[in-house]
Amino acid sequence: MRAMVLDKPSRPLQLRDVSKPKPGRGQLLVRVATCAMCRTDLHVVDGELPDPKLPLILGHQIVGRVEEIPEGANSKFQIGDRVGIPWLGWTDGECVYCRSNRENLCDRARFTGYTIDGGYAEFAVADSRFCFHLPDGYNDADVAPLLCAGLIGYRSYRKTGDARRLGIYGFGNAANLIAQVALHEGRELFVFTRPGDKDTQKSAKKLGAKWVGSSDEEPPEKLDAAIIFASVGRLVPAALHALAKGGIVVCGGIHMSDIPSFPYADLWGERVITSVANLTRRDAEEFLEIAPRVPVQTKTETFPLEQANIALDRFRSGKLKGTAVLILNAN
């Protein structure tokens, strides 16, 4: 099969013919239809995340169809079913985190497109327990971004509780998707973008944000919660300063630059800073049920598999107009 392979961080991916993977017990062989790109892919390629499996096939927003189920496997899927494969690919099910409904914190967890091979390939193998049926009404390209941008955005959003005034710092793919859910649920949305990014500000305003401004501006009202999707540590003190008492800042990325010091007075008043680590299967089940009811709409740019490096470069330089999605066997 063909796959785009990372041999070493900070090097281009290589298009290669590699052996077709064989599913083991409890696994599925999936013929990949599409695979959306995520900023985490960039962090892996650019060497900002340590110790990836090498050589590595990237990609963890995978849409495909079940090609093979090992004989005797107890699976909720059948041959031909459309499935989604997300970032969390395996947990031990035995540790204190798994036994307390916090499998996203499992110390032995494995991650698709990072510590196990992912979807920049014609076929992928995945643990059937961590695969999901996908909602009807989305084609293969449009549903792919829901599998990470949507899921991590949803987990970040749920950590804000019942906050009425919600700030979002960094209005990329995850922010755009979860903003639709927040507005559907009646939240007031305050969006912060890079200074001078008028196009993104215009897009956020069109979506329904109550206020849109630059990340170096103060909102007109104190926020009940803020989600930071940009991987910029200096935004944490800025968001904290914008909070009302009892508010929460949620850091929604897997990687962030260092957070500078800030006055304790900005934290006092029972304000909270928290991160979001990975996702749980419950997050996926809830979000994939909610998304078509909103309905959450995605915006994508498609590329053939062999143009994965071009797509990554455009992503890195901010030149994409939507989520980059690799097309392999899509319907």
Q: What is the pLDDT of residues 90-103, one digit of tens each?
A: 999 999 999 999 99
* 180's tokens: 């639709």
> What's the confidence (pLDDT) of residue 207?
94
How far apart are alpha carbons 302 and 142 in whole angstroms?
10
Q: Which residues contact 166 (CB under 8 A, 6 or more apart)?
A: 160, 182, 187, 188, 189, 190, 223, 224, 225, 226, 227
Percent of the chain beyond pLDDT 70?
Answer: 98
Locate the DSSP E strands across the chain.
2-6, 14-17, 27-36, 56-57, 61-68, 82-85, 88-90, 110-111, 123-127, 132-133, 165-169, 188-193, 211-214, 223-228, 243-251, 272-275, 300-304, 323-327
The torsion defined by the Cα of 172, 173, 175 and 178, in degrees rounded to 10, comes to: 170
What mean pLDDT is predicted for residues 214-239?
96
Q: Which two tokens stand for residue 213?
A: 């401004």
> How many Å apart are CA 150 and CA 172, to the nearest integer?
11
Contact 85, 124 (CB under 8 A): yes
Would you tell me how many other CB atoms lie within 10 Å of the CB of residue 278? 20
pLDDT band at 71 (very low <50, low <70, confident <90, very high): confident
With 0-12 / 13-18 / 19 or more C-beta atoms within 10 angstroms meaning exposed / middle / buried, residue 203 is: middle
Task: Provide the β-strand partners of residue 88.
Answer: 111
Q: In which residue are the tokens 């990329």 written? A: 172
Looking up tokens 């070493």 gives: 8
pLDDT digits (tens, 9 = 90+) for 105-162: 999 999 999 999 999 999 999 999 999 999 999 999 999 999 998 999 999 999 999 9
Q: How confident is the model at residue 211 (pLDDT cuts 50, 70, 90)?
A: very high
Cα-Cα-Cα-Cα dihedral sign, residues 314, 304, 64, 58? negative
Query: Are 59 and 315 a contacting pair, CB within 8 Å?
Result: no
Q: What is the pLDDT of residue 72?
A: 65
In one-letter notation, the amino acid at residue 48 is E
The two three-digit tokens of residue 44, written as one number: 């892996």
Three-state DSSP class for residue 175: helix
Q: Hey, which residues does 29 pair with through a beta bridge?
A: 68, 125
Q: What band does 255 get if pLDDT is binned at 50, 70 and 90?
A: confident
Q: What is residue 204's predicted lDDT score, i.e. its pLDDT?
A: 94
Q: Which residue is listed with tokens 């916090």? A: 102
Q: Which residue has better confidence, 25 or 120?
A: 120
Strands 132-133 and 165-169: unpaired
Q: Are 251 and 273 in contact (CB under 8 A)?
A: yes
Average pLDDT for the chain: 95
Q: Is 264 helix (H, G, I), strand (E, B) or coil?
A: helix
Higher per-residue confidence, 292 vs 255: 292
Cα of 1 vs its chain's centroid, Å: 26
